[in-house]
Amino acid sequence: MGIVMRGFSKASVLISLTLSLSLAACSPSQDSDLHTPESQNIVGGQEVENGTPLSRSVVLLINSMTSEVCSAALIGGTFAVTAAHCVDSKNMASMYLFFAAKPKKGTERRQIIAAKVSPYWELRQNEDKNTSDIAVIKFAGTDIPEGYEAAKFLEDDHVLTKGMNTVVLGYGIDNATTQSGAGVLRFTVLKISDPQFSPTEILLDQTKGSGACHGDSGGPAFVYLKDKNGRGQYYLWGVANHSSEDDVDNLCNKSVIYTNATLFATWIGLVKQSL
């Protein structure tokens, strides 16, 4: 992408939204349909309703100092997982999580009080592949807000095969040409194009008209699986990293790289104990 730090640009929210959130501290999809669509258009996006299962574990991350946007997923207690390149260690006190699918003035927010990036990120952040672009953040408070819950991690990444559908969510832009629309939670369904893209990353196809883009960094990828009794559930497996083969037009319309978060499960557990 022609930048030193590998990752999606952390899209800026509209000034009016940024100010209202800072002062505060279409056709929505039905949850029952989220695991089945083939062509729903984050860029081009389908908005997610508050209260649906996936909306309850995905939150907006804003750096009030820079007005930059990222996305994150709740992982239990007062912790969330996001991209390492979303963490601003020099301005930690300016980073906040907002708990709403479409944040507005008065939306509950929590300040980030600690963070830990993957130890491999510092070594590999300038590479195109295998960057370990993942971080754990700790937010203020004693528990998550009412109506929210931790995402359930996928335990076995062997189920992530080529051609499999995965649901991705984020608060990024919905129009790559105008670079607009950040600050609203949207989802789309992408297919896995290379489950072994790198030792720590999986590649998703974005050539069908929708996909993750700027501001969706740190946003989660889920797979929907059913148990032997036919009961289905969403499992978190990925964290949005950066686009692939998109250095020229920067339209997020080719491929996108997600960090395979299942490989970091032990590290995440240790970080939660230490922060």
Helices then strands, counting H and E runs in the chain, come out as: 3, 13
What are the CA-CA distances from residue 210 to residues 24, 42, 124, 161, 213 (Å)?
32, 7, 28, 20, 9
DSSP H or E run through 70: strand 68-74
Domain boundaries, the chain: 157-262
- Rounded to two decimals, the pTM is 0.84
pLDDT band (50, 70, 90) for residue 235: very high
Q: Which is more confident, 150 or 36? A: 150
The single residue listed with the structure tokens 């649906």 is 52
**CA distances in angstroms from 259 to 35, 57, 65, listed in the order given:** 21, 18, 26
Burial, 53: exposed, middle or buried (Cβ in 10 Å; 0-12, 13-18, 19+)? middle
> 191-210: per-residue pLDDT in tens?
999 999 999 999 999 888 78
pLDDT in tens, 131-148: 999 999 999 999 999 999
Of all helices (H) and strands (E), which one includes residue 60? strand 58-63
Per-residue pLDDT reduced to its tens digit, 203-233: 999 888 788 887 889 999 999 998 888 888 9
CATH of domain 157-262: 2.40.10.10
